[in-house]
Amino acid sequence: MKRLSIGVRLMLWYLAIFAIGEIVFGASMWLILRHNLYDIVDDGLESQMEDLKNFLEAQKPNATVAKLQEEVNETYAIEHSGDFLQIHLETGDLIYRSSFLEKHPAVLMPPDQIKRTIFRSRKVDGRHFRFAYEKLDVNGHTYTVEMGVHAGDAVATLQLFRSSLLMFAPGLLLVAAVVGYWMSRRALGPVDALVKTAHEIGGANLGGRLQKLETGDELQRLSDTLNAMLDRIETAFRRVTQFTADASHELRTPVSLIRTEAELALRRSRGEAEYKESLRHILFEAERTTVLIEQLLAIARADSGRETLHIRAVDLRQTLTHLVDSWKQVAAIRALQFSASLDDTNTFVMGDETMLRRLIDILLDNAFKYTPSPGSVWLSLEHRGQSALITVQDSGVGIAEEDQVRIFERFYRVDKARSRAQGGTGLGLAIAQWIVTQHRGSIRVQSRAEAGATFQVELPTIAAPAQNPAASVAK
Ligand code: ADP
């Protein structure tokens, strides 16, 4: 079943609460009015009862029953106050009974049930009465008195009040329904506007935003929150689009170079040396493309959160010692000085050893790439308090200050041609920074143009483990 709209539901709730309120209010007012009206009637009865008591007191204490009957008859039979009166003596002798009560004895009570004053409403022949039942102790006698009065006016007033309530109730409910619906529409109107705008926002116009509300209520908070979310989605979306565009561009360059090289080689026959040269170029570009694709995959995996790190206690000194050997060979090939200074003490961090090796490789690779021969590259590891400090320093081309903030961005290269010629992709430092962040560390650069560069990575250390257990596998 289709659910009712919030507006209609609010209106129905409002209506239900209003109806309950109206019923409770009406019933309370009716009960209060009834109580007050009967109070007035009962006051009248009480004063008549007082008159009767005074009258009985005025009788001789030793008067006979017959005498009493005579006296009461004389006084009350002719007055209307005796129309609904019955008096018994404790002996059971009847002193007085009006003709009305002769005809309608049902309104009376058995005398033994009357212990204190009781007031009762009675309906006889379609007329409303109020009766008081009381025991009067007078001159050593106990009289059981039952006295009634007309309560028609009180009942008529009550009925009028009730029918007025019933007559106005539907009208009031209708007004409440209309007001309730209007209020809910007014309150929820901005929601419709938000929904309409939200519908219009899509991939093609992610810049669209929900209308800014100044209501200072939940709706304003909702629209502000949704707009902030749209900001984040737009940023992420633009990042992905930019990344795809940059990646395609980066991939196109080596592929077209490979193609051009092959086309040129095939255009006419050449000597073996020329073919070899062409193949070397093609191989270089193919290798570069392979590195690029691997790095693109690494970044895509990192972005999607699917890159799994195998975290365990890693002895950085041992890891770096292994790396130093292979980089010494690179240094020899490139005619560069390479020296490493690693702290004597073991330095343990919780991390993924493969990733940490990759991090140092990226920094050393850059140092070698951007340091022309003759030049030097230094690697050091220091244990400082709770952190391990890895420093990769070179005496190369350096990085101007304005570029230092951007070199960690994807595809950012200070000198595109130089980076390309060195087989760079512009992704190395972005990956390095991701690895450092995953290890809860930090990376910073100090450099000046043409004055070498120093990259420093700081990672939190742990105490040396008893053995080297695989701690956990985390993302
Ligand atoms: P690339 O593959 O181009 O080296 P990176 O992301 O590793 O990409 O580095 C980004 C840019 O930062 C490089 O293109 C280079 O201009 C600059 N850079 C990085 N390391 C150094 C360094 N040690 N010396 C000078 N420039 C560097």
Atom number of ligand 1 nearest to Cα 420: 3
Q: Give yes or no for residue 414 CB within 6 A of ligand 1.
A: yes
Token output for 2: 């289709």
Task: Tell me if 278 sits within 8 A of 264, measured CB to CB.
Answer: yes
Residues forming beta bridges with residue 88, ordered by sequence position: 94, 144
Distance CA(167)–CA(178), nearest Å, equals 18
Task: Tell me if 435 sits within 8 A of 357, measured CB to CB.
Answer: no
- Pocket probe for ligand 1: among 295, 376, 393, 413, the residue whose CB has the most ligand atoms within 8 Å is 413
Distance CA(369)–CA(88), nearest Å, equals 128
Mean pLDDT of 95-117: 86
Q: Give yes or no for residue 292 CB within 6 A of ligand 1.
A: no
Which tens digit of pLDDT belongs to each residue from 163-194?
999 999 889 889 988 988 898 888 888 888 88
Q: Give yes or no for residue 366 CB within 6 A of ligand 1.
A: yes
Residue ID of nearest Cα to ligand 1 atom 16: 414
Residue 347 CA neighbour count, 13 Å, CB half? 23
Task: Tell me if 362 sits within 8 A of 431, measured CB to CB.
Answer: yes
Question: What pTM was computed for the model?
Answer: 0.62
Atom number of ligand 1 nearest to Cα 426: 8
Residue 434 phi/psi, 5° resolution? -60, -45
466 pLDDT more than 80: no
Distance CA(188)–CA(8), nearest Å, equals 11
Q: Give the strand pairing for 348-351 and 118-124.
A: unpaired
From residue 428, alpha-carbon distances to 83, 108, 359 in Å are 115, 108, 9
Lowest mean pLDDT among 196-200, 329-333, 345-349: 196-200
DSSP states of 1-19: -PPPPHHHHHHHHHHHHHH
Q: Is the dihedral of CA 313, 316, 321, 322 positive or negative?
A: positive
472 pLDDT more than 70: no
Which tens digit of pLDDT belongs to each residue from 236-283?
888 888 889 888 988 998 899 999 999 999 998 889 999 999 999 999
